[in-house]
Amino acid sequence: MAQGLLARFRLEERGTTVRTELIAGLTTFLTMMYIVPVNGFIMADAGLPMGAVVTATALITIIATVFNGLWSNTPVAMSVGMGLNAYFTYGLVLGMKIPWQTALGIVFLSGAIFVLLSFTPFRVWVMHSIPMDLRRAISAGIGAFIAFIGLKNLGIVVADKATFVTLGHFDKPEVLLGVFGLLLTLILYLYRIRGAFILGVLVTAVVGWIVGIGHAPKGLFSMPDSIAPIALHLDIPSALSLALLPVVITFLVTDMFDTLGTLTAVGARAGLFQEGDDVDKSLERTLEADALATVTGSLLGVSTTTSFIESASGVEAGGRTGLTAVVTGLLFLLTLFMLPLFKAIPGPAIYPVLVIVGILMFTELGKMDYSQMDLATASAAFLTVMLMPLTFSITNGLAAGFVAYTILKLAGGKLSDLNLGILLITAISLLVFILH
């Protein structure tokens, strides 16, 4: 039976071995293990019980990653996406005062639409409709948004009546610990240390415990907390309103961009997906697994699930098949029993991860072709990147960017640069401001 299962992965055809795939799966696990405690902290800020979120995050990571490995035979791991989980908590629940049950309903609807679109050419049409520079600006804007949240929660940036925000108080031990964690994790990442994020979190936590910030756990392992307080508590009827339609579209479009961007990067390194407009079967199946994971995750009680760029670390270690993903998913079983450790980690050890992920996403701006950029694209990119953190809303930034792009293209007489996809998203974007 084991031989039959291994034959499913076509290891020899992909030029890999069981040993290589096992090492690759472990590598991916170490690089993305941080998502379990980090997502627990982020969604707990929205009022969800941290223990239940940690369990649900581990479960959806296991389910989605193993399913994708078996279904698509690609070395792509999946979990709750950074960026949209922050938007879920700080943009919707805390910012717009939307109950977290309704926010889960929004995640479900965006995932359900993504599932339907995954079986049609629409997703490819949408991607081709939107200029690459605007896609990169959206990624950079989300990076700025989550980095701002991280800096705020670390106390490095604080509110100020005169200037709105200003530098924090560096005489506070918690702020100094956060700065230490940020610099340490950046240095670990700079030297390409495997598991740099989780290693930075753990070392910073230990330093915090030593200096009296938080308390070391009495034990490292326990039985998982129940997900009953959050599972199946989504409120879909409340999410079915015209005012929330732009938010649903924001989750949908961002998830699509994030997934296809990740798969493009991972596929290029692994030689998995065809180039050009033709999408091979493995890419289609990975997209389908990603969409189904978001729907499943919302039922379990977590935000949007997406493909993780950290999968590239496993690919660099030689992973070429779904066996890598299966190994990664099964290793996440360990995180189900690590709640005492996760709960003991102080906030200043967790939030540097948001800042660093934001930095990595912000580098997308460096790939834009400024020499060929017109005013419409430059204005749209600028407004997208700036308004996401300044208005504490991914929706506002995305909407402002598309509206500015369309109006300036029309004013400049460049009607040929506009297509149905752009006009459709612009029309939905206008609802953001009309219904605000």
What is the percent of the chain with per-residue pLDDT over 90, rounded to a whole number?
A: 61
What per-residue string of b and e applies to 381-418 under the rule 16 or more CB within 10 Å gives b? bebbbebbbbebbbbbbbbbbbbbbbebbeeeeeeebb
Q: 1 pLDDT exceeds 60?
A: no
Of 23, 79, 56, 26, give the one whose Cα is nearest residue 331.
Answer: 26
Q: How many domains does the chain have?
A: 1
Whole-number pLDDT of residue 269: 62
Residues 6+ apart with CB under 8 A from 211: 173, 177
Q: How large a percentage of the chain has pLDDT more than 70?
A: 93
Q: Is 50 exceeded by the pLDDT of residue 411?
A: yes
pLDDT of residue 279: 46
Q: Strand pairing partners for 107?
A: none
Q: How confident is the model at residue 2 (pLDDT cuts 50, 70, 90)?
A: low
pLDDT at 214 over 60: yes
Nearest Cα residue to 117 out of 125, 128, 106: 125
User: pLDDT confidence of 238, banded at 50, 70, 90?
Assistant: very high
Q: Label residue 420 by pLDDT band (50, 70, 90).
A: confident
Residue that the structure tokens 């508590």 belong to: 233
In this predicted structure, the answer to whether residue 167 has a pLDDT above a threshold of 90 is: yes
pLDDT tens digit string along 358-372?
Answer: 898 898 898 888 888
- Which pLDDT belongs to residue 332? 97
How confident is residue 324, by pLDDT bands cut at 50, 70 and 90? very high
Distance of alpha carbon 89 from its chain centroid, rounded?
13
Q: Which domain holds residue 337?
A: 2-434
What pLDDT, in 10s, does the model give residues 101-125?
999 999 999 999 988 887 777 766 7
N residues, the chain: 436
Going by pLDDT thresholds of 50, 70 and 90, the confidence category of residue 184 is very high
Q: What is the band of 20 on the pLDDT scale with cuts at 50, 70, 90?
A: very high
pLDDT at 278: 40
Residue 129 has pLDDT above 90, yes or no: no
CA 45, chain centre distance (Å)? 17
Q: Are 115 and 320 in contact (CB under 8 A)?
A: no
Q: Find, among 129, 132, 130, the residue nearest to 372 by Cα.
A: 132
Give per-residue burial for 157-182: e unless 16+ CB within 10 Å, then b: beeeeeeeeeebeeeeebbbbbbbbb
Measured CA to CA, the distance from residue 322 to residue 333 in angstroms comes to 18
pLDDT tens readout for residues 262-286: 776 677 666 666 544 444 677 788 8
Q: Helices 375-390 and 394-411, interaxial angle, to 10°? A: 160
pLDDT at 395 over 90: no
- Nearest residue to 147 via CA among 358, 310, 311: 358
Question: Using alpha carbons only, what angle is made at residue 75 by residues 9 and 40, rounded to the nearest 5 degrees?
Answer: 130
| CA atoms 174, 178, 180, 181: torsion sign | positive
Residue 330: what pLDDT? 97
Least confident of 28-37, 63-72, 131-140, 177-186: 131-140
Mean pLDDT of the 158-168 span:
93
Helices (H), 304-393: 311-316, 322-331, 339-344, 347-350, 352-362, 375-390
Query: Which one is predicted more confidently, 117 or 196?
Result: 196
Q: For residues 37 and 34, give the distance between their C-alpha atoms in angstroms, rounded to a whole number.
A: 6
- Residue 425 reports pLDDT greater than 80: yes
Mean of pLDDT over the chain: 89
pTM, two decimal places: 0.86
Band (pLDDT 50/70/90 cuts) for residue 188 is very high
